[in-house]
Structure 1
Amino acid sequence: MTFKNSFRIIVLIVAAAFVVSSCSEKKNEPLLLETFTKNSVSVSIYLNRTQDGQDTLIATFVPQEGLHLYSKDIPRSGVEGLGRPTLLELTQNSQMKAAGSLIESVPAQVPDFEPKDLLVYPSGSVTLTLPVTLQSSADQANDEISITYMACSDVGCKAPVVGQVISLYIPPAQ
C-alpha cells in the first residue's frame, strides 16, 4: 500500500469518526420541554436524563430586572397574605413520580422588611430541580406539571401565578 493510499484511508476513518460522533445524541444536556413568559417572569422547563436513571425536571425562572421571587419554602398563601412560593410540582395526573425533594439554585434570604419569615430569593434567575422517575409506558409522551410564583419589586408585585398547569411532551429516551 502506498503512502498516498494509507493517508486517504486514515483521512476517511477520521472523517467517519467525526460524522458519527457529531450525529450521536449528547448525553447529560437538559432537553427543553417548554418555555413561556407570564407576569414579567420567563419560565423554561427542562428534563435532564441520565444513563443511570437519575432523571431531573428543571424549571428556570427569570424575572424582569428589578424583580425578585419568593422562597419555595414559604406557605402557599404567602406570609400574612404577602408573596407566593416559587414551586415546580407534579400534578395529580402526572405520570412522573417525585424521587426526591425540590432543590433551589440559590438560597433564600431574610428580607430587610417585615415580615421577616417572608423569605426571598435575590434578584435574578432561580432554578428549581426536582428528581423524578419516568414511567416506562407508551403514555409517557404527554405529561403535565404545575408552576407557582410571584414576582415583586421594592414598590409592588405582579399578579401571582398559582398552580399553572403546563402540558409537556416528553420524547422517548434514545
Structure 2
Amino acid sequence: MESSVMTNFSLWSPTRAGSRRSRPAAAFAMAVVSVAALSACGADDEPAAGPLPATKFTKNGVTVDLRVAEWKAPNGTLEVTFTPTDEGFHLYSADLPADGVEGVGRPTVVALSGAITAAGEPTASSSVSNIRVPGVKSTVPVYPDGPVTLTVPVHTDGTGNAAALLTYASCSTAEGCTVPVEKHPVALHVTDAEVAFSGH
C-alpha cells in the first residue's frame, strides 16, 4: 500500500505535472495515510461500554428509577431517584425516624441485602429543610418538592441474588400524604461481569 501511495504521489508531483495537479494528489495521499492511521488506532481501542442496568416502577404516588452507575467490579454506585407523580409533593429526609415524626412521614431509605452491600453512607441530590406540619408539634425534615436522588456506594461480595429495599412516602402541605411504602423489594442478580435488575 505504501509503495502505491508514493507512486501516485510521484506521478502528480510539481516537477512532472505542474502545481495545479499536485494539490488533489497530495490531498488524496494525505487521506489514505489518515485512514490507515485511524484504522491502526482503532485496533487498540477497547469497545465502548454498553448501557448500564436500570429499572423503574411507580407506587403510591412516586415513580422510582434505579440505575447502577460507575461500575467497576466489585464496586460501583446505585442511584435511586424518587419523583412524586403530582406537583407540590415532597419526599422525607433519609434521617427521619423509622416511624416518622409523631407518626407523620417515613424516611427515604435505600437498604441492600444479599450479594450487594453498602460501602458507605448515601448522599442526597437535594438539601434538607425543616417544615411545620399541621397537628405536629416538632418540625419535620423534608427534601424540596419534586424529585430527589439518593446515591449509594455499593460493593459486591461474590455472586448471586440481591435486593434493594426501598422505603419512602410523599406528602404535600396542601393535600396531605400518600400511603407510605416500606421495604419495597427490587431484585438484582450479581455475576462476575455485571449487576442486573431482575424484577421488582
The normalised TM-score by structure 1 is 0.80
Gaps of 5+ in 1: none
Amino acid at match of 1:14: L
CA gap 1:21/1:112 in 2 versus in 1, 3 angstroms? farther
Answering whether residue 58 of structure 2 is matched by residue 37 of structure 1, we say yes
* Structure 2 partner of 1:152: 171
Structure 1 counterpart of 2:48, from 8, 14, 24: 24
CA gap 1:13/1:97 in 2 versus in 1, 3 angstroms? same
Answering whether residue 124 of structure 2 is matched by residue 104 of structure 1, we say yes
Give CA-to-partner distance per residue, 1:139-161, whole Å, 9 cap, x none: 2xx42110011011122111111
Report if the CA contact (8 A) 1:32-1:44 is conserved. Answer: no
Over aligned residues, Cα RMSD in angstroms?
Answer: 2.8
Report if the CA contact (8 A) 1:149-1:162 is conserved. Answer: yes
* Structure 1 partner of 2:33: 9
Deviation at 1:75, TM superposition (A): 1.1
Amino acid at match of 1:10: S
Cα distance in structure 1, aligned partners of 2:73 and 2:189: 22
Quote the sequence identity (%).
Answer: 34
Higher normalized contact order (CA 8 Å, seq sep 6+, divided by chain length): 1
Structure number with higher helix proportion: 2
Amino acid at match of 1:103: T
Amino acid at match of 2:140: L
Structure 1 counterpart of 2:84, from 39, 63, 77: 63
* Structure 2 partner of 1:161: 181
Deviation at 1:13, TM superposition (A): 3.6
Give CA-to-partner distance per residue, 1:16-44, whole Å, 9 cap, x none: 75798695127xx8x24221111121111
The normalised TM-score by structure 2 is 0.71
State the aligned residue count. 166
Larger Rg: 2
Give CA-to-partner distance per residue, 1:104-161, whole Å, 9 cap, x none: 1112111033443421111011111111112243x2xx42110011011122111111
Deviation at 1:79, TM superposition (A): 1.0
Deviation at 1:9, TM superposition (A): 3.4
Cα distance in structure 1, aligned partners of 2:115 and 2:141: 31
Cα distance in structure 2, aligned partners of 1:132 and 1:150: 24
Gaps of 5+ in 2: 1-5, 10-25, 195-200
